[in-house]
Structure 1
Amino acid sequence: MTTLQDSTALDRIWYTRCPVPTASGIAYNLGWLDEEFVPEGIGVGVLQDAEPEIAERHFDHRLVGLFREGGNVPAIVARSEGAPTRLIGLTWIDEWQSILVREDSPVTGPADLRGLRIAIPAWAQDRARSFPRAMALHGFASALRLGGLGFDDVERVEVEGRAGRAPGNDPARAALWPGLAELAAGDVDAVYVKGARSAEQARELGARTAVELDATADRSWRVNNGTPRPITVHEQLLAERPDVVVRFLVRSLRAATWASTHVDDVRAILGREVGSGTDGVVTAYGDDFHRWLAPTLDDERLALLDQQQHFLGEHGFLAEPVDVHAWAAHEPLQEALRILAEDGGEAR
């Protein structure tokens, strides 16, 4: 195996562009990752813009130079299937997790879900790509429990499971969130959604919110693919170039600091990332999400991630259980925070 012990061996790192709010995404969009690494001959690539065989590594994380800050379902599934990754941070950004119904539906709360036909995206070609199914299952599981119900109280209807981004992030070309077409057609009665673009699509279709999971005070009710959201790296990169990992985190933390005082700029960046307008961003992420982009690895977030991996295991998504505490590598984030504290925590 080629190693990275010679600093010239690492000529590119990859940032994976998930359509969600991330400090690393802001750092990339501000040019700070290029500024950090390009002068020493390390290019910064966007994984989704690479050739297909590289872009596929978004799901299995078998690419040494990859920094992945995205949904936890593919990350946990990859780890359970033996991907040599380490967890270096967790963020939490609520993103309008909701159960939608048609405008004329009598459903007004969780208890009213009894007897409904709920949309569950079908399995994809593998477990990691089946994250829309995992999201819907966990979202409905939480909503049903809020109403004192379970899956035996509803009818699960399998729908098309693809949840892709639009080419060029063009909102007009974005695929409908899985289940929304079936909801509009009357084939299902309720759909789980999250995020800015689904908020816009729901408005366009005339769907309304029956259960707003983000309104629950206890975060354990809101655990899903993006909550908490992991940052993972290849263990070889961490072992052989820990300086690169720390510097990536420093730039991400600086971006989080910058974001906390630049909400309009952050909304513009996020709109481009998720393929949504300002209204969708505001609906999905609220007024203060820009203050909470910095990652941690605290006990609460690790416990919430463990809750997610248990759920995924119970519903057939994992080859093996994942020990999230053994997965976590605390040292890079600790060192990045130390560096940031030494220079006063300034954005740059």
Structure 2
Amino acid sequence: MTEKNSVSEIWYTRCPVPTPVGLAVQLGFLDDAFAKEGVTLNSIADSQDRAVRASHFDHHLAYSFRHGGNVPPIRARSEGAGTRLVGITWTDEFQAIITLPETGIRTTRDLVGRRFGVPRRPAGIVDFMAATALKGLVSALSLEGLTHRDVEIVDIALTRSVLDEREGPQLFGLRGRQAYGAEVAALLRGEVDAIYVKGTAGVAVANLIAAHAVAEFGFHPDPRIRINSGSPRVLTVDERLAEDRPDLVTTILRTLQRTSAWAEAHPEEVRRFVAREAGASENVVAVANGPDLHRHLGIGLEPELIDAIAHYKDFLHEWGFLAADFDVRAWVDERPWAALSHRVAA
């Protein structure tokens, strides 16, 4: 192992969704923990350098960690990126297939023969939005014994790369565009009959257009139905951090455990912090993530969590979103947890 003081800074990134990393950043827990190690935390998402921001999707930066949606880190691993899966969180969220009342679609069976819109990003970054929408469609249809072949899948072209949203003038002073804008526009123009939405943004746009929910399944009792890009979410670290400074990976996990414990004792504050993270109102967060959000910000590597990630990886491979197949269990690195348990015991 290299000298302990040889790492002076670490890059991190998280998606704007409920995660213990996002909460720990807002509370200052991670900054404090790393300051004690003489390490500075740098935000990948806030960088003005497009190449740095790309690491949110391809995980190329040395000494970095990421917590958020599963499609980019799974894709990066399939491309051979040297990363380790060190933690998983499962925070359920609103997921639905929605339509406009005038389409006449009331139930999932009414989708048969109708047009389902799937957003398609420009080439360059794995199309996580398309993957998410397709998994949502497959989940909803499966509840009625249907498959994707029973509907017409229509591509909705998105002209901008997600990396563009940190460049140039900001639209109305905001850092990013409202999610599902292109899908809702296609729905309103009558180009598609139904779309998939999820999370706080999904609740907000469904409310905005007075949509009809054809199927809601974000809190379905079968975890295989709920599994998608955000259910559960993975914490990954690059291999140089994992191999050179495993003690810092343990510091991350220990800090996130502290954050999870704090969350359980502060439900109202959690809802407020998540609202800030997601750019949503507290009421929308309560609807999108349920009243027990504060109890679902834990992190671990339990077998059922690993199985869920493997299930979603298999879906991505089947649908052509991965460069190659790989073994999720070989991706898992349990050493930081063993070190954490040893430290607690000591």
**Sequence identity (%):** 38
Q: Aligned pairs, how many?
A: 338
Q: Which residue of 2 aligns with 1:203?
A: 207
Q: Which residue of 2 aligns with 1:92?
A: 90
Q: Which residue of 2 aligns with 1:72?
A: 70
1:14 is the counterpart of 2:18: no
Q: Which residue of 2 aligns with 1:38?
A: 35
Deviation >6 Å, runs of 4+: 168-173
> Conserved in 2, the CA contact under 8 Å of 1:97 and 1:214?
yes
Instruction: Give me the whole-angstrom Cα distance separating, in 1, the residues matched to 2:189 and 2:178.
Output: 16
Instruction: Give me the whole-angstrom Cα distance separating, in 2, the residues matched to 1:173 and 1:84.
Output: 29
5+ long unaligned stretches in structure 2: none
> Conserved in 2, the CA contact under 8 Å of 1:26 and 1:255?
yes
Query: Aligned to 1:104, what secondary structure does the other structure show?
Result: helix
1:57 is the counterpart of 2:60: no
Instruction: Give me the whole-angstrom Cα distance separating, in 2, the residues matched to 1:280 and 1:314.
Output: 34
1:230 is the counterpart of 2:234: yes
Moved more, 69-78 or 264-273: 264-273
1:157 is the counterpart of 2:160: no
- Displacement of 1:99 in angstroms is 0.6
> What is the RMSD computed on CA atoms of the aligned residues?
2.3
Q: Which residue of 1 aligns with 2:297?
A: 293
Query: Aligned to 1:49, what secondary structure does the other structure show?
Result: coil
The letter for the 2-side match of 1:214 is G
> Conserved in 2, the CA contact under 8 Å of 1:259 and 1:266?
yes
Task: String of CA shifts for 1:187-225, please: whole Å, max 9, x gaps.
Answer: 211111111022112211221311011242110111110
- Displacement of 1:104 in angstroms is 3.1
Query: Aligned to 1:214, what secondary structure does the other structure show?
Result: coil
Instruction: Give me the whole-angstrom Cα distance separating, in 1, the residues matched to 2:105 and 2:144.
Output: 12
- Displacement of 1:171 in angstroms is 7.2
1:265 is the counterpart of 2:246: no
- Displacement of 1:30 in angstroms is 0.5
Query: Aligned to 1:124, what secondary structure does the other structure show?
Result: coil
- Structure 2 vs 1, CA of residues 171 and 103 (structure 1 numbering), >3 Å: closer, same or farther? farther
Q: Which residue of 1 aligns with 2:136?
A: 139
Query: Aligned to 2:214, what secondary structure does the other structure show?
Result: strand
Query: Structure 1 length as normaliser, TM-score?
Result: 0.91
> Conserved in 1, the CA contact under 8 Å of 2:57 and 2:125?
no
Task: String of CA shifts for 1:45-75, please: whole Å, max 9, x gaps.
Answer: 2211112221111111111221101111001
> Conserved in 2, the CA contact under 8 Å of 1:94 and 1:227?
yes
Q: Which residue of 2 aligns with 1:311?
A: 315
Query: Structure 2 length as normaliser, TM-score?
Result: 0.91
- Displacement of 1:337 in angstroms is 4.9
> Conserved in 1, the CA contact under 8 Å of 2:121 and 2:161?
no
- Displacement of 1:107 in angstroms is 2.5
> Conserved in 2, the CA contact under 8 Å of 1:127 and 1:317?
no
- Structure 2 vs 1, CA of residues 169 and 288 (structure 1 numbering), >3 Å: closer, same or farther? farther
Moved more, 81-90 or 13-22: 13-22
> Conserved in 2, the CA contact under 8 Å of 1:250 and 1:337?
no
Task: String of CA shifts for 1:6-34, please: whole Å, max 9, x gaps.
Answer: 33331111221311111111111101111
Moved more, 68-77 or 160-169: 160-169
Map of 1:91-130 to 2, 5 A cutoff? 91-128=89-126, 130=127
- Structure 2 vs 1, CA of residues 168 and 278 (structure 1 numbering), >3 Å: closer, same or farther? farther
